[in-house]
Amino acid sequence: MRVLIADDDQDVREVLVETFRVAGFDVLEAANGLEALLYVKRDRPDAVVLDLMMPRLGGVEALKRIHAFNPGIRVLVVTGAIDPELQRQATAAGAAGVFTKPVPAATLVAALTGPPPPAPPPAPTSKAPVPAVGAPTGRVLVVDDNPEVRAMLEDVLTSLGYGTSTAADGAAAVRAVLAEAPDVVLLDVYMPGLSGVGALPTIVALAPHAKVIMISGVANEDVLKRALAFGAHDYVTKPFEISNLSRAIETALAMRRLETGSERAT
């Protein structure tokens, strides 16, 4: 059996890879959600051990994308968040098992060598219309309560060729997304009123094809990883390195094109 280990923590990944190889599995490994989806499409593993809290396509959305491409694949979800709602969503999205870290690697091996769970009912054949892909450069919505940061990001992104709009808080961001769904949202984590973390679920629901990149001046890993688990694509920290920010946006746009192109082809 070929299994894909997808976890952004290198130490955790190495332990899982070694344990599964000793158990006789053919093992692939991915360090983020984008890599995991590409491996699923290219190498067709039989199973995935999936960390929910990864950058570049994480959370339940990653699980949905994997199952949309291969409904029969067996996915074990691993998460550091003890959150019943997140676990419920993962199970509803087709996870064969949900495990809270730390979980012994042998437990995951045993879960894959046991009998498979009952097959889910077939998905409906009708598909919702897919929003049209925007201009090649992409449309970016900048959400930050600091007007200087908004102006700086707007200038930089415009100079890089992106169509740019701004919002000063989470509520304004939701209204902007509702009016016209962007390709990428740069969403500040901490804002007065409706915070970025608070606005995130609504933005993801209103614009499922938009890629949300969380931005924060405080590197609170727990908050950022929780945002990833609930649908954020990636995160960057202030002060910004323009090259890093540009790469994050380019990766998000590439992921968006990959997803919308795949859905059109099916």
Given a cut of 70, whether residue 247 has pLDDT beyond it is yes
User: What is the amino acid identity at position 180?
Assistant: E
Kindly list the distances between the CA atom of residue 123 and the CA atoms of 41, 71, 126, 217, in Å, as whole numbers in the listed order.
19, 9, 9, 42
Q: What is the pLDDT of residue 235?
A: 85
User: Bigger pLDDT: 182 or 100?
Assistant: 182
Q: Write out the residue limits of the CATH 3.40.50.2300 domain(s) in the chain.
A: 2-113, 139-265
Measured distance CA(32)–CA(55) in Å, rounded: 6
pLDDT tens digit sequence for 181-232: 999 999 999 899 888 889 999 999 999 989 999 888 776 777 877 888 888 8
Q: What is the pTM of this model?
A: 0.56
pLDDT band at residue 130 using 50, 70 and 90 as cut-offs: very low
Given a cut of 70, whether residue 117 has pLDDT beyond it is no
Measured distance CA(12)–CA(24) in Å, rounded: 19
Q: What is the pLDDT of residue 168?
A: 94
Torsion sign (Cα): 81, 17, 213, 87: negative
Q: What is the CATH number of domain 2-113?
A: 3.40.50.2300
Given a cut of 60, whether residue 69 has pLDDT beyond it is yes
Measured distance CA(19)–CA(88) in Å, rounded: 28
What is the average pLDDT value for the chain, to the nearest integer?
81
The encoded tokens of residue 218 equal: 């405080």
Find the mean pLDDT for residues 91-114.
84
Q: Which range, of 12-21, 130-139, 217-226, 234-243, averages the lowest pLDDT?
A: 130-139
Question: Which secondary structure element, helix H or strand E, spans residue 34, and what is its range?
Answer: helix 33-43
The encoded tokens of residue 70 equal: 């291969």
Q: Do residues 25 and 3 make contact, with C-beta atoms less than 8 angstroms apart?
A: yes
User: Bigger pLDDT: 125 or 3?
Assistant: 3
Given a cut of 80, whether residue 164 has pLDDT beyond it is yes
Q: What is the pLDDT of residue 82?
A: 66
Determine the distance from the C-alpha atom of residue 251 to the mean position of all C-alpha atoms in its chain, rounded to a whole number: 12
Name the superfamily (CATH) of residues 139-265: Response regulator (3.40.50.2300)
Q: What is the pLDDT of residue 134?
A: 40
Scanning the structure block, which residue is given the tokens 């509803």?
A: 92
Strand runs (DSSP E) across the chain, as ranges?
A: 2-6, 26-30, 47-51, 74-79, 97-100, 139-143, 163-167, 184-188, 211-216, 234-237
pLDDT band at residue 127 using 50, 70 and 90 as cut-offs: very low
**1: CB partners within 8 A, 6+ apart:** 25, 26, 46, 47, 112
Determine the distance from the C-alpha atom of residue 235 to the mean position of all C-alpha atoms in its chain, rounded to a whole number: 10
Q: What is the pLDDT of residue 204?
A: 92
Measured distance CA(230)–CA(223) in Å, rounded: 11
pLDDT band at residue 26 using 50, 70 and 90 as cut-offs: very high
Please state, for a pLDDT cut of 90, what percent of the chain lies above it. 24
Q: Which of 19-33, 92-106, 107-121 has the highest average model confidence (pLDDT)? A: 19-33
Q: What is the pLDDT of residue 139?
A: 94
Measured distance CA(6)–CA(30) in Å, rounded: 5
Task: Give the neighbor-by-neighbor strand order of the sheet with 97-100.
Answer: 26-30, 2-6, 47-51, 74-79, 97-100
pLDDT band at residue 142 using 50, 70 and 90 as cut-offs: very high
User: Bigger pLDDT: 57 or 117?
Assistant: 57
